[in-house]
A and B are shown apart, each in its own frame.
Chain A
Amino acid sequence: MAILVDSATKVICQGFTGRQASYHMERAIAYGTQVVGGVVPGKGGSRHLGLPVFDRVADAVAATGATASAVFVPPASAAEAIIEAIDAELPLIVCVTERIPVLDMVRVKRRLEGSASRLIGPNSQGILNPGRCKIGVMPAHLERPGRVGIVSRSASLTSEVVEQVSAQRLGQSTSVGIGGDPVHGLGFVDCLELFFRDPDTDCVVLLGEIGGSEEEEAAAFLRSQRVPKPVVAYVAGLAAPTERRMGHAGTVNVFGQGGAAEKIESLRGAGVTVAESVAEIGQTVRQALKAA
C-alpha cells in the first residue's frame, strides 16, 4: 500500500511520442510501472514503445482501462490536455510540464472542483511508490520501499531527501512532488490527509520552500486535529530574497509573506519537527520515528 498509486495503477501518457515523454516513459516501463498506452492527437492507431497510441484520452481509457495519466504536453497546450483528462474522469493526472501560464492553471483548478480527478503538478517530478510504480521524471536511484511518506515542492530536493532517508536504512511509502508553480493540484494538506490515512506510512516529510502560504496552511491543518503520525519538515530559502524568482515560479511573492523563517515558525508551532539544516533531514526523520 501507499498513497495514490500502486502496482495496479494503469498509466497512459499524453504527449507520448515527444522526446522527453519517450525517455521517461521508457524508464517507467523498465521500472515496472503498468504503462498501457499513450495519447497524441493525430497519431491514433499507431504504436510507440510497443504500446497503442490514441487520438483522445477518452478513447485510451475505453480501450485500456487506464486509471492515471502522465502529462508531458508542452506548456501552450498542457492545460487543455489536463482538462481532457479531467473530462475523461481519470482518477489521477500527473503533469510534469514546466512553464504553464498561471491563468491556464486557474482554469484547470475550476475544472478540478467537483471532478473525479486528482492532479499532481504541474512542474512536478511526479510520484514514486518504490518498487511498484513510477510516474514522472524523478531518478530511480537510491529509493527503497519503506514507511516514510515524502511530499515536496522541489524535485532535486526530493532526490536529496530520498537518499538521506534510505541512508538511515529507512525507506519510502510514496514520494509526491506537488510542483514548483504558484497554482497547482494536490497540496501539502491533501497529501498529509492521504498519508495520515495510509496504514503503511509511519512518518511524513514535508519539503517546503519560500513563496506562497502552503506551509502555513499545512500548519493550520495540523493544529486543527490530533496529529496521528510524526511530521518532519524542511523549508528551503532562509538565505534568499522573496521578491525575486528563485528558479521556481512559486518562489516569488507578490504581496508580503512567504519568508522561510515565518513558515518554519508556523510549522514548529503546529508540533512539526523542523530539520535544522538540509544535511540533517534523514537523521531528523529517524529521531522523530524513535520518539513516536
Chain B
Amino acid sequence: MNLHEHQAKEILGRYGVPSPAGSLVSRADAAAAAAKSLGGSSWAVKAQIHAGLRHDAGGVRLVSGTEAAATAASELLGKRLVTPQTGPSGKLVRSVYIEQAVGAARELYLAILIDRSQGRVAFLASRTGGSDIEQRAQAEPGSLRHLAVDGDHGFDLQAAAGLAADLGLEGRAASQAVEIMAALYKAFLELDASLIEINPLALTHEGSLTALDVKMVLDDNALFRHKDLAALRDVEELDPTELEAQRFALNYVHLDGNIGVMVNGAGLALATLDLLKQRGGAPADFMDIRPEASRDQVAEGFRLLLRNQDIDAILVNVYGGGILRCDTVAEGIAAACRSEGLRVPLIVRAAGTNGELARKTLMAQGVAFTPASSIGAAVASAVEAAGREAA
C-alpha cells in the first residue's frame, strides 16, 4: 500500500525524522493562507499523487510570495498530472502539500527496504539524491552504498556511523544521519513497511538534515495488524476496476489492449500476456484468479471484462489444480454471460482438474465459445478473433 508524501512525513515525524513545516490543501483559495501561516517567503507546492517523478512533470512548484503559492495550487488542483509512472492518462491531483522551501547545500539519498537476495532489512544510500537515482545506480553501481541490518543484534550504531561518513557527512550532520537511520529502522519494523525512501535528504546551509521528499510503501500482507495504517489508504488513487476486483479474490491490473484475459495463477497469467504480445495481440488486462475464488467471484471478475468496451475478444486460460477447479470457473463465466450478455468471441482453454467438465458446463449453459487444447492454440485463436472483430 502506497502512502502520500504528506502522510509519510507526518508518520516519520513521530519517529523524529525532520521535514520542512507543511500543510495539506485541497482548495486553491486556501493556499495563500496556508503558506502564510507556515511562515517564510518561499514554498514548495507539491501535487499529492501516488506516482514518482512528479518534479519533472511539473507537479512540484517552487514559489515566492503567497500569491504565487495560490496560483501554483490552482494550476495543479483538479489537473491530471502525467509522469513516467502514471501511465498516459495521468493522475488527478486532488490535494497539494505546501511546505517551507529549504535551501540545500547538498542532496543525498537514503532508503530502507527489504534486500530480497539476503532476506534482510537493508539501507541504501548515495551521496547524491535525485529522481534519476535508479538509472545512476545501474550505470555506476559503486555510487550506491548498501548496509544490511542484522536483525538478531538490532541496529548497529557503528555501521550506521560508517555509512554517514561514506555519505560525506561530518560533525552534527553525521550524528543526525545516524539518528535518522535508527528512526527509519524502528519505523520500518513497527509499521511493517516494504520501503521508506527519503529522496532527497537535504543537508541545509545551516548544516542540518531534513527530508525533502518521502516515499513510503507498506506491506499489504501485514495490514491486518495495523488497522490505523490501513485506514490511510487513499482509494481514489486506485483504478476503480482494480479496486472492485480486489473484493473478489482477483488480482487485476488494467492494461491498454483489446483482448480481455482471465487466467489462474500469476505466472501463467504473465506467460499468457507475453504470448499474446508475441503473436501480435494486445492484452486489455492482467487478471489472476486466486485459488480460493468461488463461482460468484469468478462471475464478478468476468463481468469486469464484459463491461470493458475496449475489448474485442476474451481469452480464458485456466489450469485447474489445488482447490481451483475448471468447472467452478466455467460456472462463473456462464453466470456472468447470462446477466451481462457476451458480445465478443470467447476462447477457453481449460486444462487440469475438471477441464472437460468445464467445456461441458459452458456448452450446457449455452455460452458460445471456441475451445482450445493448448496455450499456443488459445492465444492464436484469441489474436485472430480480436483482429477480425476490430476490423
- A: which residues have CB within 8 A of B? 20, 23-24, 75-76, 98-107, 109-110, 125, 137-139, 141, 152-160, 163, 180, 182-184, 207, 209-210, 212-214, 217, 234, 236-241, 243-251, 254-257, 260, 277-280
Q: Is B121 an interface residue (CB 8 A)?
A: yes
Q: Nearest-CB distance from B301 to chain A (Å)? A: 13
Contact with A along B73-111 (1 / 0, CB 8 A): 000000000000100000000000000000000000001
How many residue-residue contacts, CB under 8 A, span A and B? 196
The yes or no answer to B158 lying at the interface (CB within 8 A) is no
Contact in complex: B221, A155 (CB < 8 Å) = no
B253-281: CB near A (< 8 Å → 1, else 0) gives 10000000001111111111111111000
Q: Contact partner of A137 among B117, B225, B266, B323, CB < 8 A?
A: B323
Nearest A residue to B355, CB-CB: A141
> Hey, which chain B residues are within 8 Å of A251, CB to CB?
266, 270
Interface residues on B, range: 35 or more
On whether the beta carbons of A256 and B137 are closer than 8 Å, the reply is: yes
Q: Max chain A CB contacts within 10 Å: which of B111, B121, B269, B322?
A: B322
Determine if A156 and B268 form an interchain contact, defined as CB atoms under 8 angstroms apart: yes
A250–B195 alpha-carbon span in the complex (Å): 14
Partner of B323 from the list A23, A100, A156, A217 (CB cut-off 8 Å) is: A23
Residues of B that sit less than 8 Å from A by CB: 85, 111, 113-114, 116-117, 119-121, 124, 134-135, 137-138, 151-152, 189, 192, 194-195, 217, 219-222, 224-225, 251, 253, 263-278, 283, 286, 288, 290-292, 319-323, 351-353, 374-376, 379
> With A139-B353, A239-B277, A255-B124 given, is the CB distance from A160 to B271 under 8 Å?
yes
List the A side residues contacting B273 at CB < 8 Å. 239-240
Q: Which of A20, A23, A141 contacts B321 (CB 8 A)?
A: A141
- Known interface pairs A154-B267, A156-B265; A75-B113 also in contact (CB < 8 Å): no
B105 to chain A, nearest CB (A): 26
Task: Look across to chain B and name the residue whose beta carbon is closest to the beta carbon of A240.
Answer: B270
- Alpha-carbon gap, A213 to B116, bound state (A): 8
Q: Specify which chain A residues have a CB less than 8 angstroms from the CB of B134 in the assembled complex.
A: 255-256
A75 contacts which chain B residues (CB < 8 A)? 221, 224
Question: What is the bound-complex CA distance between A213 and B118, given in angstroms?
Answer: 11
Provided the pairs A157-B265, A248-B266 are in contact, do residues A234 and B116 lie with their beta carbons within 8 angstroms?
no
CA A125 – CA B277 in complex, angstroms? Answer: 27
Known contacts A138-B321, A238-B277; is A254 also within 8 Å of B113 by CB?
yes
Please measure, in the bound complex, the distance between the C-alpha atom of A159 and the C-alpha atom of B374, giving whole angstroms: 12
Residues A155 and B322 in contact, CB atoms below 8 Å apart: yes
- Taking A23-B323, A257-B138 as known contacts, 15 extra A-B pairs with beta carbons closer than 8 A to each other, sorted by chain A number, are A75-B221, A101-B221, A106-B120, A107-B151, A141-B352, A153-B267, A154-B266, A182-B114, A246-B269, A255-B195, A260-B274, A278-B271, A278-B375, A279-B275, A279-B379
Residues of B within 8 A of A107 (CB): 151
**CB of A99, distance to nearest CB on chain B (Å):** 4
Q: Could you tell me the distance in whole angstroms from the C-beta of B218 to the nearest C-beta in chain A?
A: 10
Nearest CB in chain B: distance from A18 CB, A = 12
CA distance A24 to B353 in the complex (A): 13
User: Chain A's nearest CB lies how many Å from the CB of B97?
Assistant: 22
